[in-house]
């Protein structure tokens, strides 16, 4: 198979690329950076922006499947940037698939597209899109998902996956931020609840993408559908944060603050950042507060039935792998010669 992975240099994208290469597939990556480690694997890296329609079209030429992973994430920012990357960029990907005759498109969406600021416990794909959004990320992901699923009516086979809380070794965003805030004493529990949430270990998420592509190749009936993906083992959101921090010696979650205070602070910080045109995301946002204080776990029966998906890595096993990866990075190399034999003294 010849595959294109947008955002192939990111956390999920790079793991997906490596899995594809390991299976003997020819892989092309569309990303804004340089990734010599992927090039060393034989991957073709096309350095371009999703907003460049011609570049996206050229990258899609001659491939069998596009895995559209790239997106602008975050709980705050310029709405125009979210729209141009997440919506217009996805429209460019869909248009490229159509013009170049790419048969399959697997899109990485988010459960936040249905998050309406109340608990979701065992919800499935019959849940409607949220009627309103307090952040541009879920809003634009919902719009982009609709673009992808609607394209199935034009003959392009599409599937949208909604993995929640992707985690594991190699994460350069979520876990490092948790660690930095915990060690600075700025990571707090919000409210007195520990609402259940879904998580998705990185290898499980990669498996879901590969299975979705395989299912699309043989079962046209699943085209145009969205699927929730998870480790199928809901856990308290603050419990999971504490377990991840413990696995990397990253500190702990501090005492709780009231939900209303955190939400008010998030709104105030968003207003200040907008007024002063600060580019960085606020310390806390209303979207983050809502995500952390509501239960979000889903019934993944549809993914099991239609895609053959079954999580292969449990949370306990994933934490053990995270701990091992951290220990390997933290252990300094032993003084040895090129042969690996200890140097004599």
In angstroms, rounded to a whole number, what is the distance separating the alpha carbons of residues 339 and 331? 20
Name the residue with tokens 């007024």. 275
Given 35, 107, 137, 201, the catalytic residue: 137
Helical packing angle, 53-60 and 89-100, nearest 10°: 40
Alpha helices per DSSP H over 76-173: 79-82, 89-100, 136-150
Query: Which residues in the chain belong to E strands, given as ranges?
Result: 2-6, 26-31, 44-47, 65-68, 104-108, 120-123, 157-163, 166-167, 188-190, 196-197, 200-201, 225-229, 235-236, 254-257, 296-298
Question: Exposed e or buried b for every residue in 300-319, given b needs 16+ CB within 10 A?
Answer: bebbeebbebebebebeebb
Question: Exposed e or buried b for every residue in 265-289, given b needs 16+ CB within 10 A?
Answer: bbbebbeebeeeeeeebbebbbbbb
Who's near 200: CB < 8 A, 6+ residues apart?
163, 164, 165, 166, 167, 208, 229, 230, 231
In angstroms, rounded to a whole number, what is the distance separating the alpha carbons of residues 185 and 180? 9
Who's near 320: CB < 8 A, 6+ residues apart?
none
C-beta neighbour count of 172 within 10 angstroms: 10
- In the residue annotation, 227 being an active-site residue is answered as no
In angstroms, rounded to a whole number, what is the distance separating the alpha carbons of residues 9 and 29? 8
Long-range contacts (CB closer than 8 Å, 24 or more residues apart) made by 126-133: none
Burial of 123 (0-12, 13-18, 19+ CB in 10 A): middle
Who's near 1: CB < 8 A, 6+ residues apart?
20, 25, 26, 64, 65
**Active site (catalytic) residues:** 137
């Amino acid at each position: 198979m010849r595959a294109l992975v947008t955002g192939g240099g990111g956390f999920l994208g790079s793991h997906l690329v490596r899995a594809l290469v390991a299976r003997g597939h020819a892989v092309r990556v569309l990303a804004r950076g340089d990734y010599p480690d992927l090039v060393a694997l034989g991957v073709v890296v096309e350095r371009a922006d999703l907003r460049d329609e011609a570049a996206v079209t050229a990258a899609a030429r001659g491939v069998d499947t596009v895995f559209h992973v790239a997106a602008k994430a975050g709980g705050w920012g310029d709405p125009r940037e979210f729209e141009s990357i997440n919506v217009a960029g996805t429209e460019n990907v869909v248009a490229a698939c159509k013009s170049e005759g790419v048969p399959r498109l697997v899109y990485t969406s988010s459960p936040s597209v249905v998050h309406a600021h109340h608990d979701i416990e065992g919800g499935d794909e019959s849940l409607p899109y949220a009627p309103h959004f307090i952040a541009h990320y879920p809003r634009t992901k919902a719009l982009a998902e609709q673009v992808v699923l609607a394209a199935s009516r034009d003959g392009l086979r599409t599937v949208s996956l909604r993995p929640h809380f992707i985690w594991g070794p190699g994460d350069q965003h979520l876990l490092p931020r948790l660690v930095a805030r915990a060690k600075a004493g700025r990571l707090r529990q919000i409210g007195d609840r520990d609402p259940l949430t879904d998580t998705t270990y990185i290898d499980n998420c990669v498996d879901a993408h590969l299975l979705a592509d395989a299912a699309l190749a043989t079962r046209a009936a699943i085209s145009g559908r969205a699927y929730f993906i998870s480790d199928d083992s809901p856990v308290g959101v603050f419990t999971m944060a504490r377990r991840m921090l413990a696995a990397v010696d990253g500190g702990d979650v501090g005492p709780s603050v009231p939900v209303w205070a955190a939400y008010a602070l998030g709104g105030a910080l968003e207003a200040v950042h907008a007024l002063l045109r600060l580019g960085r995301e606020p310390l806390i946002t209303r979207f983050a507060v809502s995500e952390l204080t509501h239960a979000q776990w889903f019934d993944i029966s549809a993914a099991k039935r239609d895609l053959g998906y079954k999580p292969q890595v449990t949370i306990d096993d994933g934490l053990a792998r995270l701990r091992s990866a951290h220990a390997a990075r933290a252990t300094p190399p032993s003084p040895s010669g090129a042969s690996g034999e200890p140097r004599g003294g």
